[in-house]
Amino acid sequence: MRRAHAVEWVRAAEGELIARLPEGTLMQRAAAGLAATCAELLREGVPGRVYASRVLVLAGSGDNGGDALYAGARLARRGARVRAALLAPARVHAGGLAALLAAGGRVTDDLAEAERADLVLDGIVGIGGRGPLRDTALPWVDAAGRGAATVVAVDLPSGVDPDSGAVPGAAVHADVTVTFGTHKPGLLVDPGASYAGVVRPVDIGLGEVRGAGADGEALSTGASGAAGRSLRGADTTPLLLDGHVVEALQQEDVAALLPAPDAESDKYRRGVVGIAAGSARYPGAAVLAVGAALHGGVGAVRYAGAAAREVVRAHPEALVGEGGPKDAGRVQAWVVGPGLSQDAEAERAVEEALDAGVPVLVDADGLRLLARRGAAPADALLTPHAGEAVALLAGIGVTATSAQVEAERLRFARELARGYGCTVLLKGSTTVVTGPHGPARVNPTGTAQLATAGSGDVLSGLAGALLAAGLTPLDAGSVAAYLHGLAGRLASGGDVPVAAGAITAALPEAWRRSCHSGGATG
Ligand SMILES: NC(=O)C1=CN([C@@H]2O[C@H](COP(=O)(O)OP(=O)(O)OC[C@H]3O[C@@H](n4cnc5c(N)ncnc54)[C@H](OP(=O)(O)O)[C@@H]3O)[C@@H](O)[C@H]2O)[C@@H](O)CC1
Ligand SMILES: Nc1ncnc2c1ncn2[C@@H]1O[C@H](COP(=O)(O)OP(=O)(O)O)[C@@H](O)[C@H]1O
Ligand SMILES: [K+]
């Protein structure tokens, strides 16, 4: 599991450590890790060596600038030609600047340095950053973007909000981000994540106080007994003092969660999923959802609705009926909503699925109908895209646009989970799955190739099957998003457009790679 901790947690952990260590130790650890990564990048790329390479340090007014200046000093001692642009000269980290100058580095205000550098170190702002990048930084960020330098962000790309991943203005596009102690949520959630490049955690010893590795691996258990304590009010994303706030499933986590039949399994024990989707006008949604559900690890898929004939023609394995969920026979979970339309019959299907007493995944038209209720059963899984999230938010009295939802996914997904009292999977460039409490999961496997009509129906069928197979709504949603993303990548091979049916066709291979070690992306 990859875990990210909120800024307040990082500050608290660092505070404990700083009190025990000689002054400056943490910054020296950070700078050493940073310089080692930069040296490696200079040796691997252009110019192929550290000696005589051109390095530009962008130093802001806080400790993030200090890290960058000390790392610059280390590179200068190894023969690099290091220049530093001081964005707030009066407040620059004095020790860092002195170290750089003593090592032979120089201060510059020549923007051309950014364009001819081999490597740019972004130390403008780190976890202390708030709001859009200030004007003094913008010409340097632009110039670094124009040049061919490898851009290394210190702790996180400047301009990315550390806790939310929001990017309220210009931000540094990094090739590599060297992050200290633990991931920050903004590195795992878009739009911020797309500015971070490859993220390399550096261990600065947070584990000495909390049992954590460089990845913050063991931080979730906490040592002080205050796990889960919220530092903020109930209406915002909670910052858990002793726990991570965001996590991303890795291949081994998915392998452990995937349902597998055993010797005693039969088709009913494996779970049966019911799909109430499609309509005379949109039969395709039913066909796609059922098709994906058939690959979702259940023993059988029941279909209930107006597209029964189309469904059985496409998938003879499905058990179909033209009535609603009430008449369909026993299932262990329902999927309701894709392509359902919003007429009285659709409304009835949603009611019946919600009243069935089993976990229910609500998607698409089902969500718009659910918004009128403003509440859902605790074991429901809602799967909105940003537009549907806006309608759901309106149902609980929150006004937001889809652009706002996309800018702050963690916050709005959490607000929906709290408002409806269930689990929410917010689709998009970073899919977020969260319940009302506990860490939110972000999906690491997505690809923009998934943005194709019917792709959401595939996800619904798959996640519904995993629910019926016995996974919790959080696990079902996050495992489905993982497999769906991986299938999308496999189907597209990176840059070939895919149709939704091709995502389904790639699900078995995505599943195979996920249950064997070393096969998947993440
Ligand atoms: N804590 C530790 O033990 C360790 C911390 N470490 C390092 O310290 C970093 C945190 O340092 P930090 O707390 O000094 O904050 P930092 O990110 O440099 O920013 C604050 C400065 O930026 C300014 N500023 C704010 N917003 C801005 C904007 N949008 N655009 C431009 N400027 C903006 C703000 O100005 P002000 O608002 O005061 O005018 C203030 O002066 C952390 O990320 C890691 O790299 C490591 O060494 C390991 C040990
Ligand atoms: N830019 C993107 N990057 C990654 N995944 C995306 C992106 N845009 C959309 N997706 C994914 O594609 C799927 C689209 O679902 P949805 O919007 O419901 O489409 P439809 O209703 O046509 O089936 C979701 O799984 C979503 O997370
Ligand atoms: K930075």
Q: How far is the CA of 155 from the centre of ligand 1 (A)?
A: 10
Domain boundary among 229, 247, 265: 247
Mean pLDDT calculated for residue range 185-211: 88
d(C-alpha 251, C-alpha 249), whole Å = 7
In three-state secondary structure terms, 24 is: coil
In three-state secondary structure terms, 80 is: coil
193 with 48, same domain? yes
Q: How confident is the model at residue 208 (pLDDT cuts 50, 70, 90)?
A: low
Residue 108 belongs to a domain? yes
457 lines ligand 2 (CB under 6 A): yes
Angle value at C-alpha 32, between 122 and 173, nearest 5 degrees: 20
Q: Do residues 177 and 156 make contact, with C-beta atoms less than 8 angstroms apart?
A: yes
499 lines ligand 2 (CB under 6 A): no
pLDDT of 130 above 80: yes
pLDDT of 224 above 50: no
Residue 27 belongs to a domain? yes
203 with 269, same domain? no
Residue 462 belongs to a domain? yes
- Give the pLDDT confidence of 354-390 residue by residue, as tens digits: 999 999 999 999 999 999 999 999 999 999 999 999 9
Residue 312, burial from CB neighbour count under 10 angstroms (0-12, 13-18, 19+): middle
- Given the CA of residue 129, which atom of ligand 1 is nearest to it? 26
Q: Do residues 430 and 193 make contact, with C-beta atoms less than 8 angstroms apart?
A: yes
Q: How far is the CA of 231 from the centre of ligand 3 (A)?
A: 25
pLDDT of 38 above 90: yes
155 lines ligand 1 (CB under 6 A): yes
- Give the pLDDT confidence of 487-513 residue by residue, as tens digits: 999 999 988 999 999 999 999 999 999
Q: How confident is the model at residue 207 (pLDDT cuts 50, 70, 90)?
A: low
Q: Relative to the alpha carbon of 409, which ligand is closest?
A: 2
203 with 320, same domain? no
Read off the tokens for 160: 């990315």
233 with 263, same domain? no
237 with 270, same domain? no
18 lines ligand 1 (CB under 6 A): yes
Q: How confident is the model at residue 516 (pLDDT cuts 50, 70, 90)?
A: confident
Residue 520 belongs to a domain? no
The pLDDT > 70 percentage for the chain reads 92
220 with 96, same domain? yes
Mean pLDDT calculated for residue range 192-202: 97
Residue 368: CATH number of its domain? 3.40.1190.20
Residue 522 belongs to a domain? no
Q: How far is the CA of 377 from the centre of ligand 3 (A)?
A: 43
Read off the tokens for 309: 């004939």
129 lines ligand 1 (CB under 6 A): yes
**Residue nearest to ligand 1 atom 3, measured at CA:** 14
Strand partners, 57: 84, 121
- Known binding-site residue numbers for K(+): 64, 122, 158
Residue 427 belongs to a domain? yes
Residue 95: CATH number of its domain? 3.40.50.10260
312 with 192, same domain? no
d(C-alpha 106, C-alpha 125), whole Å = 20
Q: How confident is the model at residue 72 (pLDDT cuts 50, 70, 90)?
A: very high
Residue 521 belongs to a domain? no
Domain boundary among 191, 221, 247: 247
- Known binding-site residue numbers: 63-67, 122, 126-132, 155, 158, 285, 339, 385, 427-431, 456-457
- Given the CA of residue 363, which atom of ligand 2 is nearest to it? 18
Q: How far is the CA of 337 from the centre of ligand 1 (A)?
A: 46
Domain boundary among 247, 274, 307: 247
Whether the model clears a pTM of 0.90, i.e. scores above it, the answer is yes
Q: Relative to the alpha carbon of 425, which ligand is closest?
A: 2
- Given the CA of residue 125, which atom of ligand 1 is nearest to it? 17
In whole angstroms, what separates CA 254 from the centre of its chain?
A: 15
d(C-alpha 162, C-alpha 155), whole Å = 9
- Give the pLDDT confidence of 455-483 residue by residue, as tens digits: 999 999 999 999 999 999 999 999 999 99
Strand partners, 476: none
d(C-alpha 3, C-alpha 357), whole Å = 34
334 with 419, same domain? yes
434 lines ligand 2 (CB under 6 A): no
**Residue nearest to ligand 1 atom 40, measured at CA:** 62
Nearby residues of 439 by Cβ (< 8 Å), 6 or more positions away: 3, 220, 240, 243, 244, 245, 246, 247
Q: How far is the CA of 493 from the centre of ligand 2 (A)?
A: 17
The angle that helices 63-77 and 94-102 make with each other, rounded to 10 degrees, is: 10
Dihedral of alpha carbons 99, 102, 103, 109, sign = positive
* pLDDT score of 16: 86
212 with 272, same domain? no
Residue 482 belongs to a domain? yes
pLDDT of 233 above 90: no
- Known binding-site residue numbers for (6S)-NADPHX: 63-67, 126-132, 155, 285, 339, 385, 457
134 lines ligand 1 (CB under 6 A): yes
Q: How far is the CA of 64 from the centre of ligand 1 (A)?
A: 5
39 with 146, same domain? yes
- Known binding-site residue numbers for AMP: 427-431, 456
Q: How far is the CA of 439 from the centre of ligand 2 (A)?
A: 22
Longest Cα–Cα distance in the chain? 81
The answer to whether ipTM exceeds 0.90 is yes
113 with 152, same domain? yes
How many distinct structural domains can be found in the chain?
A: 2
Number of alpha carbons in the 13 Å side-chain half-sphere of residue 415: 21
The pLDDT mean for the chain works out to: 92
Question: Range of 417's domain?
Answer: 251-515
175 with 316, same domain? no
